[in-house]
Structure 1
């Protein structure tokens, strides 16, 4: 399945489809369907892992296609999938986009405790923190992370995303911004760190 996903992605790119179009119109919606199926109990862990591997393979092809277009470094951002959540494909998509748009990314990985996020933000004086959650059960951990960030690093902005996130959820847990699509996070970062002319 992963091999087929990589082949189809190469074919789409060769046919002139833009990398971001593939990410936003094909990869992300497919992952949302899988995430919702897993939540509803119609898909199970083996299917979730197969889908994750397929998306990862497709994403590797896209990453290669986008490399070399990096700009001058603009600012730093922390990306983390919150505690209890092991899904990091969406976060990885955001990471590659952020790097390609000139941001230094501290990728803390998945299943990251709130304390580790805050510790990294303080250590590197990071002003933007991106949190991801794919499962509704981990949104409470995202809320806890935001609460801790507000206390320990009040000057940092928090952007949230993931299959289960909505604007309402983001507002309820105190996030500064909700990124529905991977590119939204880049656009938000661009408003915080304007490019020097």
Structure 2
């Protein structure tokens, strides 16, 4: 239960970004100014980890680095709002959350730590899979008029493939979590646990 709370607490993390109007065009001068600000903010943020030690410091540093990387991707997405930049931003958020979650897991031991790491990885896999689906849908439907004219368009097929792949990736990640939890058991109970996990996730 504790491992779930650690990962869940981070699931909504890193949803911030530099505050720009979504539809406002950013000039080159504004972009450069904001880029300098992001760099300056990063130096200031690192100071908050001073005086810390052990895993608390590792967590703090992971949080600061994650915030910085997200701020950079957010700025790039605001400057050039392409679907690729939007995808990179989503992945950066997922990656930052994952890295902090892994550091949080280091406070645990044994199977609790192993399960925590698997849950963190599963959350990352799911977020990345969703980001990929969003990117595929956006790129394949970017020119609907062209799609309607071209009867041979493979857009629906590519979108369907991306969604199927996302489902498979998520299911595989969930299976690994379930299987890891079985390692806390032994003997027949463990065998039964693994069998149930395989049945549930089609392994």
TM-score of the pair, normalised by structure 2: 0.31
Larger helix fraction of residues = 2
Normalising by structure 1, what TM-score?
0.31
**Which structure has the highest strand share of the two?**
1
Question: Which of these two proteins has the greater Rg computed from alpha carbons?
Answer: 2
